[in-house]
Structure formats: structure tokens, C-alpha cells
Amino acid sequence: MGSGTWSTDVYGAAASYRAAAGTGAFDYSDRVTASAPRHTWKAHPSLAPEGLSVRESRDSDEHPASLAVSVLFDVTGSMRSVPRVLQTKLPELFGLLLRKGYVAHPQILFGAVGDATCDRVPLQLGQFESDNRMDDDLGNILLEGGGGGQMTESYELALYAMARHTSIDCHEKRGRRGYLFLIGDEMPYGKVKAREIRAVLGDRVTEDIPLTTILDEVRRKFDVYFIIPAGATHVGNSSVQGTWRKLLGQNVIELDDLSAVCETIALTIGLGEEAIDLAAGLDDLADLGSDAGASVGKALAPLSGRRGTVARSSAPLLDGASDAGSGGTTRL
């Protein structure tokens, strides 16, 4: 996947068509949740994880140096608003990545995380796309709004899928990790349960996998970030923050404005690719007419400070190496 080119005009035309037709950006979710009994809810076929082979980010003549970017968000409870905000901000994300030259050939995958202990649809994964088909993937996400109420969700199952069901040329050909952003407000479970892997993905796994093991595995391919946005139920909870900081160090981003999610992702990538420093990135936001600068600056200040001495390298992690707790940028 990953052919084609993003167009703001196509995005705008699609939004106008939906408005004229009286449908929302998340028409699939709106129809399913409004008319179908909950026990029949299923992921859209384009996002269904059952029997998943691999999601691929590939180089091509059109995109000779692809960079894999994954954005997975919690769609339980109060977090259901995140994809709706993200959908309205796609032009800002691509405007920064492309027009400001942070990344020449981004390929973006959107997905969603629920709770495999109780939700009908605990995992949804789109494709890595370079054009407006990523908007279709985002719009096909089922906003289940479930969760178990115990301050844990199945982020570890999503990490498993990204570790073992993705193949990305930026890493395989050039030894450069892609980016994985998880957006949520709860903690992961302590292990990936074999029974949930079998039930959700169909993989023939017989033993549970410790969370730290699967995190080490996924971080060989991706720099992993966890964004905690304002408005979520557990913002400011010390257990949630402490758990993720123990796992990811400074790659935990606390954001005081949900509407600044796309700008935060774009500037994080720009910093990671050494295309900008934080001051230049905030200038770019102002140039694009964004009012998110104060929130983004506050959220990324700790990350920006460390970037000055520990840069993202083109060298791959050594097999079996772990940089968990370092913030995700230290290379061996």
C-alpha cells in the first residue's frame, strides 16, 4: 500500500459531499451503533484484524523513501471524540509534514484500540496510505465507546499487531524506524494474552507475552509515543502517567488541548527527523494559521530539550536491544 498523493482539495470535496448527503465523517460507525444490536457489531472489513497478514509501507517510484507513521487511538468511553477531532485536522497534519518539508514521503496508518476483555471490536487497523484513502480508513473506524471501567485497555494487543503484522521499508531497507503514536488515557494490561491474540487476530499463539517483551519488539521498528489528551477521563492520573513513563520515558506527551493532536504529531515527527527545532516548528504552526502553538510548545518542551543531545539516528537497533525508558531515541 502507499501509492498516490494526499490532496487537500480531495479532502474538501469529500467533506462537501458528505454535508450535502447528510452523512457524517464516521458514517459506518453512526449507522452500526444507531441501528444494529451491540452483539452484532463488527469492524469494517477494511479494518478488521481477523486473519491479518501484514500492513505494508513500501517504497515505489512515486515514493522512493517512504516513512511509516501509525496513529492508533483509544475509542472507549470519553476517548471516542479523538478520531472525530483527528478527522477534521487531517489537512493540518499533512500541511506540516509535506508543505513544510518535515517528511517527503509519509505513509500513514490509522487504527483504534478497545478492551479485548469486554468489547466487541477491541482492535482495528487500516493500511499505510500516502493519499486520501487514509481518510476513508479513519472514517470507517467503529467508535464503540466501550471499555471495562478498570483503567486498563488493550494497548498491548495493538503493540503486538504492530510488532508482528507490519512490514515497513524505512526500517527493512534503510534501518530507520517509523513512528507509532498511541492516543489514550489508561494503562495497558501487563501481558498480551494468548487467548485474545487467537480470538482477535487468529494467530496460533499458545503462551502469553509480557508487555515489556512485545514493547521491545515493536520498538525495533517504531519510535513509540503515548499521547494523553485533555478531556479524557484519566488525564492527570498518577498511575496512568507513571506506568507509561516507566515504559516510554519522555515519549509520554501530555496535551492540554485535544484539538492540537495533529499538530503535536507533526511536530514530533519533524523533531525526530531533525527537520526543525521546536521554535521553528511553532513558527510553522503560526504560518499556517494554527492557534495550537501554546499547547504544542508546552507538550513537546521536554522532548525538544532532550533532542538537542540525543538525536534520532539512521542506525538500527541491534537485535535484542532495548531502549525502553530512554524515551525511544537512543540508538546502539
Beta-bridge mates of residue 40: none
d(CA 87, CA 96): 15
Question: How does pLDDT run across 200-235, given as a tens digit for each residue?
Answer: 999 999 999 999 999 999 999 999 999 998 866 667
What's residue 1's pLDDT? 61
Low-confidence stretches of the chain (pLDDT beneath 50): 307-332
Please choose, from the candidates 260, 243, 263, the residue with its C-alpha nearest in 3D space to the C-alpha of residue 96.
263
Output the CA angle 127-128-129, nearest 5 degrees.
105
Q: What CATH number belongs to 8-307? A: 3.40.50.410
What's residue 236's pLDDT? 63
What's residue 148's pLDDT? 64
Q: Where are the domains of the chain?
A: 8-307
What's residue 314's pLDDT? 38
d(CA 155, CA 180): 12
Neighbouring residues of 220: CB distance < 8 A, sequence distance ≥ 6? 171, 177, 316, 317, 319, 321
d(CA 260, CA 268): 12
pTM comes to: 0.89
What's residue 99's pLDDT? 86
What's residue 234's pLDDT? 63
Query: What's phi and psi for 108, nearest 5 deg?
Result: -110, 130
What's residue 313's pLDDT? 39
What's residue 146's pLDDT? 81
d(CA 126, CA 5): 17
What's residue 84's pLDDT? 82
